[in-house]
Chains A and B, each alone.
Chain A
């Protein structure tokens, strides 16, 4: 089932993240889960003011991405649609966004440090 939601630019990004995880071997997925150990809930607000939640579970099993709020999120991240895309594309620095209040995090804030790396791993990088 696709994690795409109409009207959100970051939808494509989460699809990409989802595809990336699906492309990994179970062992690699477990490796990722072991490294991150957290459930992220993203509350993404688009330009129209609609808020959509996604859950990135990198704590249980082989990890998963799903639409909707988490049953038990370790960290809840409020972020604007475009900023999420910028962050994932490496155009924005997550730390700066946190510091400047453009990203708001509740819960285990330390997990946010791992978000950058998670997103980066799924980033479409140019191939050498």
Chain B
């Protein structure tokens, strides 16, 4: 909405976001100088145009000065020292979105171009709401004989901002002409100050000027004020509400008319008026009245704020100062018609020099460095007066009120900010939202702890040996050799025989545990490894393998315990127990923190090239337990660099990748493991799971069947070795060699393939031959 034009009462319009511009004008009010400039166009007419014209002036002046400021900031520092001033200007710049300011000469160009799009002025007239307001203000202006000229200049600036986003337009003849015109206007502006004070003794503007010039207003001014008040009262709609008629403002106006009160110099006239309901668009006077009423409270604030800002930054003062200087500059340059060529020249030379010249002309022989003091002077001499004027003029109230009024129309007495807040209020207060919050926390908690078990399975405590183990008759000294050379099944049987002959053989138990892991029989692996560490707690890698098995079984806390035991029993690393503060917590996160701390400390003792792959593996396991798979992948990869032939390590690496949903890389790792050891059942099983995750259920089934077939083949071989006499005596027919969980996974795959018939066989007959017809393994 073209709000400033509304306030201006002119046919011209502001930039596309006039509210924004208005707010800017308020927060950084430059209406001081605009006040001086604007009414100059009203000079010949009634002074009552003053008020309606000046907010628009503000708009234009704002941009004008802004243009300058930007160009100054953008490029002028190189030309002369402006630091002090620039600091002051910063306060202004912070309020505005920066526009690219290529350098000094562009300022001149900008200025010229500002006059180009004059035709833009009427684009806003389509808006119905604007039209309404405009009518109101137009009538008000006509009533007071306010000329329409005032809006032209600043709206040109405004339109320029809209239409000339870029600053590098070529100079057009019509732009030059417009530019010249603008400077003619500016010339008038420069003369306004005196005109204002001398030519319009009857008007409002003169009233203010008189205040400014002479604190003790003369009688003429008082009369003029009274006359204006009388006009205002006459213009009030006699049908408007009683409340309105009796309002303090109207009383105040009457008193002004009757000269019961007069504006005393610089003093802010206090008014106490009730808030009157908005009757938008009825009359300018009504609008003004409302402005008085509603803006009253804020006016004081505004003026205070304005004063503060002025004292703080001096920014608006400076812009005023600048404009004054420009005026002087123009006067010194004589004809306005020359200005276009002057500014064209400035494009080539530098505006800074030009400006410096202005500074000299204006400030006599003062160096540019003295600008700051000049600002102070002008603040004291001019701006401060204006502040007072501003205080009494109620201009701020007027703008504020017009703003409010606009909002009232748009939003039924409710600002959009409030509307927005109302709309989002339920998001902050809705109980469902809180519920989600706690839901989220709960979720994260479960995510962190998971549903782990304690290793309470009784099968962990007792290793069930294969019956009729043929190696039981073999020589004890040859068993370890057999275990190392034989295939998986042979190796397991040999190791079982070894530990049955010597249950204190920790190394044999340890190897047995590893083989059972390899064979995808976790329960038996745990049982064997527990025996190993029981026989010899210094069998370090048994602890590590035990942690791996517990992790697979989701016995998190037990995995942490096993890893802690690894550190405790390590001659090399038990020292780190002292350097990591012990925690008593038994929850999984607490245990994780502590044990991870131990291993990180252990890793620190062997940095760089000397890193211990076992420590890396342990960390990898730890991060698997806590499901920090990315970290775990890094640890296993580091270990693999040192042990590239460790197929179990390749599998750990692959499994971690798979659990972090990097299935493709996982499959690659599994194949590396299987290349080293083709009878690695667990890698095959994992490969099948990876295939399931990729939706390749058939391939998964084939991998699973291959794994089962391998286990079965081992059993068959064992049966042959044992001999005909024992083979028939085995009731399980070798099925015991095949892993329960492989069958279960196969059943899953069968269900997914829609083969519930075959899935059923996974539970009952477990006859591999039933699958041979349909699957290739």
Q: Chain A interface (Cβ within 8 Å of chain B)?
A: 2, 4, 6, 9, 11-12, 15-16, 19, 23-25, 27-28, 31-32, 35-36, 89-91, 94-95, 98-99, 109-110, 112-114, 116-118, 120-121, 124-128
Contact = CB atoms under 8 A, between A and B. Distances in A.
Contacts of A112: 439
A16 B666 contact: no
A124 B689 contact: yes
B526 to A, nearest CB: 12
Given A127-B522, A128-B548, A128-B655, A117 B450 contact: yes
Nearest to A20: B744
Interface in B690-705: 690, 692-693
22 contacts: A4-B751, A4-B759, A9-B752, A12-B751, A23-B744, A27-B456, A28-B457, A98-B439, A99-B436, A110-B439, A113-B439, A118-B451, A120-B451, A121-B554, A124-B692, A125-B689, A126-B656, A126-B658, A126-B689, A127-B522, A127-B552, A127-B655
B446 A126 contact: no
Contacts of A16: 744, 748
B748 A124 contact: yes
Contacts of A127: 517, 520, 522, 552, 651, 655, 682, 685-686
A7 to B, nearest CB: 9
A95 B440 CA distance: 8
Contacts of A109: 435, 439
B451 A32 contact: yes
Contacts of B450: 117, 120-121
B81 interface: no
B756 A128 contact: no
Given A16-B748, A28-B456, A128 B443 contact: no
A16 B746 CA distance: 11
Contact of B447 (A35, A98, A116, A128): A116
Nearest to A32: B451
Give 5 nearest A-B pairs by CB, closest first.
Answer: A126-B655, A12-B751, A126-B658, A113-B442, A113-B443
B748 A126 contact: no
B748 A12 contact: yes
Question: Which of B446, B522, B552, B666 gathers the greatest number of chain A CB atoms within 10 Å?
Answer: B446
A83 to B, nearest CB: 15
A24 B624 CA distance: 22
A72 B293 CA distance: 65
Interface of B: 435-436, 438-440, 442-443, 445-447, 450-451, 453-454, 456-458, 517, 520, 522, 548, 551-552, 554, 621, 624, 651-652, 654-656, 658-659, 661, 666, 682, 685-686, 689-690, 692-693, 740-741, 744-745, 747-748, 751-752, 754, 756, 759-760
Contact of A121 (B443, B451, B659): B451
Nearest to A95: B443
Contact of B621 (A4, A9, A110, A128): A128
Nearest to B520: A127
Contacts of B686: 126-127
Nearest to A16: B748
B446 to A, nearest CB: 5
Nearest to B666: A126
A125 B629 CA distance: 13
Question: Which of B451, B517, B554 gathers the greatest number of chain A CB atoms within 10 Å?
Answer: B451
A90 B661 contact: yes
Given A109-B435, A126-B655, 5 more contacts: A12-B751, A25-B457, A28-B456, A127-B651, A127-B655
Given A4-B756, A91-B661, A95-B440, A113 B548 contact: no
A12 B747 CA distance: 9
A128 B552 contact: yes
A125 B659 contact: yes
Contacts, number: 107
B759 to A, nearest CB: 7
Nearest to B522: A127
A89 B661 CA distance: 10
Nearest to A6: B756
Nearest to A85: B752
A121 B410 CA distance: 58
Contacts of B666: 126
A15 B751 contact: yes
A28 B453 contact: yes
B262 to A, nearest CB: 68
A25 B453 CA distance: 11
B624 A128 contact: yes
A114 B656 contact: no
Contacts of A90: 661
A46 B188 CA distance: 81
Contacts of B658: 126
A127 B517 CA distance: 9
Question: Which of A24, A89, A125, A127 gathers the greatest number of chain B CB atoms within 10 Å?
Answer: A127
B464 to A, nearest CB: 16
A67 to B, nearest CB: 13
Contacts of B751: 4, 11-12, 15
A47 B59 CA distance: 63
Contacts of A113: 439, 442-443, 445-446
B457 A12 contact: no
B346 to A, nearest CB: 60
B379 to A, nearest CB: 57
B588 to A, nearest CB: 12
Contacts of B692: 124
B358 to A, nearest CB: 62
Contacts of A126: 654-656, 658-659, 666, 686, 689-690
Contacts of A24: 453
Contacts of B548: 128
B577 to A, nearest CB: 25
A118 B759 CA distance: 23
A11 B755 CA distance: 12
A93 to B, nearest CB: 10
A99 B436 CA distance: 9
Contacts of A27: 456
A35 B655 CA distance: 28
A83 B748 CA distance: 18
Contacts of B551: 128
A48 B126 CA distance: 56
Contacts of B740: 23
Contacts of A94: 443
Contacts of B458: 25
A15 B747 contact: yes
Nearest to A58: B451
B639 to A, nearest CB: 12
Contacts of A36: 451
A15 B748 contact: yes
B752 A35 contact: no
Contacts of B752: 9, 12
B446 A114 contact: yes
Contact of B453 (A9, A31, A120): A31
Contacts of B741: 23
